[in-house]
Structure 1
């Protein structure tokens, strides 16, 4: 973080008037943290991608079972948890020990996202994205809240709230653009 602050202050005058500095620095810093994060857990990028895909697919599959096959939210989540658990128990040699230990937790926790009502969220892409966000939250918080109950559900709720905020952000951007268009229109009317 200190390095990011030094970079921002050091380049403030150099890139004066150029937009996107904060976003670029934040993106680069996130990339550095991401690769440092992967090496911290001593797992390769392949395993991390498997976790992310597992979280996204688990959330979407649970939602599919819940909404399209009318299995109910609890039954759908339980079925996903059982399927992943049985797969890991039957085929432990296909996965690394780290994947074998943590993949069922990630998939079961991400299945909580698929329990969302179709009246609240019905976009499969956003549900899958929420599963990916859940996986990232899980890896960043699981060591801090070890032994506390409700961690998977809380992380799933936060991930779902992140995805639910996208339409609001998009709406605000449209409102902002409309406001600029109105100002431009008023300026053009005033000049004529």
Structure 2
């Protein structure tokens, strides 16, 4: 029963993250009518998509250790992005590519099979810009939040693109809000 609550909370988190992102994009326009109209239209389309595609029969979670690989991916990408000539996209691509070859080291290892997606989710967290990332504690906290939601969203968004980026975006937003509230 508790698994269903975590699963439901993960869906709500993803819906709210997408809604916040779209609303933030639309608020850049000064025309209130356009903002309200497009926000309403996009919200209806998102809700329709969730109703149509979320018929999860079995609730399943990723193992706890994947959170560590999300954090590692975030830290490595952030380091490459902030302290080398690589931009954020190339840093994430490099870490993601290296992670994609790790399962080939031992094809029977379930741990190695789970590394690439988890690290790539962390790469999106590590792509945060310098004016957002205060220090590595921010990346670690955002990586932990992304890791938790990554663990709970195993059966969500099969066949729908953007899951890892949405999780990373939401975790960076939550971390930024926590930093704002606590400072």
- TM-score in terms of structure 2 length: 0.62
Answering whether residue 106 of structure 2 is matched by residue 106 of structure 1, we say no
Which of 125, 141, 149 does residue 129 from structure 1 map onto? 141
SS of aligned partner of 1:112: helix
5 Å-filtered alignment, 1:14-93, equals: 41=60, 47-48=63-64, 50-93=65-108
Unaligned runs of 5+ residues in structure 2 are 3-58
Answering whether residue 152 of structure 2 is matched by residue 140 of structure 1, we say yes
Indicate conservation of the 8 Å contact 2:67/2:143, yes or no: yes
Unaligned runs of 5+ residues in structure 1 are 3-39, 172-192
1:12-69 deviations in Å (ceiling 9; x for gaps): xxxxxxxxxxxxxxxxxxxxxxxxxxxx7588xxx51x31111111101100000111
Q: Residues 120 and 102 of structure 1: is their aligned pair in 2 closer, same or farther, counting only changes over 3 Å? A: same
Aligned length: 127
The structure whose Rg is larger is: 1
Higher relative contact order (CA 8 A, sep 6+): 2
1:106-162 deviations in Å (ceiling 9; x for gaps): 110111111111112131111022112112111222312111111111111001111
Q: CA RMSD in A?
A: 2.3
SS of aligned partner of 2:159: coil
Q: Residues 84 and 169 of structure 1: is their aligned pair in 2 closer, same or farther, counting only changes over 3 Å? A: same
Task: Identify the residue that residue 190 of structure 1 maps to in structure 2.
Answer: none
Task: Identify the residue that residue 186 of structure 1 maps to in structure 2.
Answer: none
Task: Identify the residue that residue 11 of structure 1 maps to in structure 2.
Answer: none
- TM-score in terms of structure 1 length: 0.60
